[in-house]
Structure 1
Amino acid sequence: MKCVINGTTFDYRKNFQDNKDLRYRLNRLAGETFGGLSFEKWYEQGFWTEKTTPYALFNDNNCVANIFATVFHVIFQKEEKTYIQLGTVMTAPAYRNRGLSRFLMHEILKEWKDDCDAVYLYANDRAVDFYPKFGFTEVNEYQYSRPISARMGSLRKLNIEDPADRAILIKKIQYGNPFASVAMPGSTEIVMFHCIMSQKDNIYFLPKYDAVVVAQQEGDTLLCFDVFCGEDAHPEDILSVTADEHCRKVCLGFTPKDNLSFGPAVFREEDTHLFVLQEKDNIFRDNLLMFPMLCHT
């Protein structure tokens, strides 16, 4: 569809991820904007599905602006709702401050606003004054942590490139995290994006607990991004086996159901701010929560 924005004609496209040429142009803009980021491997392995829709503007055979809209089913306090996360917001430098992101935001909200329970996004420092113009308000996320002692146990690193290991990972992701109070069932595709891209060296299988843990230890702190297993396992057992002998503390990348043994603190991530659409559902209003880190887009 052709559209005119401030006197310039653009080609407006959405849901075009199966078009190799348009996907190439989108990947080129992503690489230039986010330091080499590409969605090609994610697509080639079959994980870029209709759950994530790109909304983009093209000009002179280039993708010049884009926003992703990803559908999540969120379960909190036994209620299942439909949330839309906006992500990969980017504009080519030569086209910034010309209303392109504003156009895409209007189109996305027009399409989704009345067909979901909540809309949210993560913004960088540059954009904190932009999103309130569309009715978004900034909220705090809370990260839970507690002291921990390492325990001997069997675990091995999974190789995401090995078909057998990848099958184990996918199966466990589909189990979900039984310890999370904010659950996002059916998010295998987004979790796999992180496992393929940034977390490929942080994936472990614990055979005794039939569990997969995505975690990274820095110094004496274990950051557990997520745990995927059945209902019978206990989180303390899994985390203790994942930690090494130098570990003294574990921080979670999700909100635990059992808050009594974990203490919350406002989570501050550099150059990152969570915004939610004010007139929709806001589970952060009265609760100290975090969206699962492996479900960020």
Structure 2
Amino acid sequence: MDPHAVTEIGAGDIQSQELFCDYVPQVFRRADFRRWRAWGEWNDDYRAFGLMESGRVVANASVMRMRLLLEGREVTAHQLGAVGCLPSHRGRGLARVVMNAALEACGDAPVLLFANPKVRQFYPRFGFQPQLQTLFAATHDAVPEGPPAPTLNLEDAAVRAGLATLSSEGLSSTERFGARSYATVASWPVANGFARPLRQLGSEAWVFAGVEGGTLYLDDVFAREPFDLRAWIPRLIDQPIRSIRFGFTPERYWPEAVTAGEDLEADLFVRNFRPSPEAHRFPVMAHT
């Protein structure tokens, strides 16, 4: 057997998924795929390329197929995630092996990934280029008013289905550099306890949002039709706010938002495409 044979783990590969789920927290301490998988979110769009050794995954690079939006033009693309190697197996070139397998599966399609700043030198070896991400903010004074917008729970399969429908059939939060149909990506941080609450604004507009220190953080918007986001702010907050921070490029919902520095939480790398030359931020809920 080839010691560097890579196993493709798809939606139906239950046994191999278990091995992948064992691998993830050994490399990414706070990450887990078990709850997300139990929700049925591992579908045909997600494939893991794992290197097996002694009955376990020792290195991996995963590929999420996405409907990417570039200046309003939709293209099929891929986002890489869960790229790494067990600490005990580092220094043997195994991450390179799984990266090559994942990229071969992507072909010539656009590929993006968000990486830990500690590995900035790794991805350019595979044809990736670093890409600046901009933070967007707005000064906005508001106080709570009216019935609070209901909180939705993605533990509920009907809520997950609703998010999938809005993400697939509705508007993207941004067309400058965004995506569509990424509900299974957005549900992963929820399953891991990383996401802000999902709130319902009317019948067909949902947002991930929360207040911290007098600032409303609007991480993403999923809506069937355009709506007046500003009118809903008093129902999204439980204390007075002075400002808003956006987890996406808010050209549709808050065009007067200003740039507020560079996003330094994760480094974006792109391959086979170039995002908008205008300031942009790929929606944080679309990060794998």
TM-score (ref. length: structure 1): 0.86
The range that moved more, 74-83 or 63-72, is 74-83
Unaligned 5+ runs, structure 2: none
Whole-angstrom CA distance in 1 between matches of 2:150 and 2:44: 33
Alignment map for 1:142-291 (pairs within 5 Å) = 142-150=134-142, 151-154=144-147, 155-163=149-157, 165-177=159-171, 179-181=173-175, 182-199=177-194, 202-207=197-202, 210-258=204-252, 260-270=255-265, 272-277=266-271, 280-284=272-276, 286-291=277-282
Instruction: Pick closer, same or farther for the CA change 1:201–1:291 going to 2, 3 Å.
Output: closer
Amino acid at match of 1:102: R
Instruction: Pick closer, same or farther for the CA change 1:36–1:27 going to 2, 3 Å.
Output: farther
Q: How far has the Cα of 1:14 moved from its partner?
A: 0.7
Whole-angstrom CA distance in 1 between matches of 2:29 and 2:238: 32
Q: How far has the Cα of 1:168 moved from its partner?
A: 4.6
Alignment equivalent of 2:84, drawn from 77, 82, 90? 90
Instruction: Pick closer, same or farther for the CA change 1:196–1:170 going to 2, 3 Å.
Output: farther
Q: How far has the Cα of 1:249 moved from its partner?
A: 0.9
Instruction: Pick closer, same or farther for the CA change 1:163–1:80 going to 2, 3 Å.
Output: closer
TM-score (ref. length: structure 2): 0.89
Whole-angstrom CA distance in 2 between matches of 1:201 and 1:11: 39
Amino acid at match of 1:191: A
Contact persistence 2:151–2:197 (CA under 8 A):
yes
Residue 292 (str. 1) matches residue 283 (str. 2): yes
Amino acid at match of 1:15: I
Query: Once superposed, what is the RMSD of the aligned Cα atoms?
Result: 2.3
Q: How far has the Cα of 1:136 moved from its partner?
A: 1.4
Alignment equivalent of 1:140, drawn from 132, 150, 158? 132
Unaligned 5+ runs, structure 1: 4-8
Whole-angstrom CA distance in 2 between matches of 1:36 and 1:144: 27
Q: What is the SS of the residue equivalent to 2:106?
A: helix
1:45 matched residue in structure 2: 39
Contact persistence 1:178–1:230 (CA under 8 A):
no
Whole-angstrom CA distance in 1 between matches of 2:281 and 2:196: 23
Q: How far has the Cα of 1:242 moved from its partner?
A: 1.2
Q: How far has the Cα of 1:224 moved from its partner?
A: 0.9
Whole-angstrom CA distance in 1 between matches of 2:150 and 2:34: 28
Whole-angstrom CA distance in 1 between matches of 2:207 and 2:87: 39
Q: How many residues align?
A: 284
Instruction: Pick closer, same or farther for the CA change 1:10–1:183 going to 2, 3 Å.
Output: closer
Q: What is the SS of the residue equivalent to 2:107?
A: helix
Q: How far has the Cα of 1:24 moved from its partner?
A: 1.5
Identity %: 25
Whole-angstrom CA distance in 1 between matches of 2:274 and 2:65: 16
Q: What is the SS of the residue equivalent to 2:67?
A: strand
Whole-angstrom CA distance in 2 between matches of 1:220 and 1:231: 29
Amino acid at match of 2:58: V
Contact persistence 1:29–1:92 (CA under 8 A):
yes
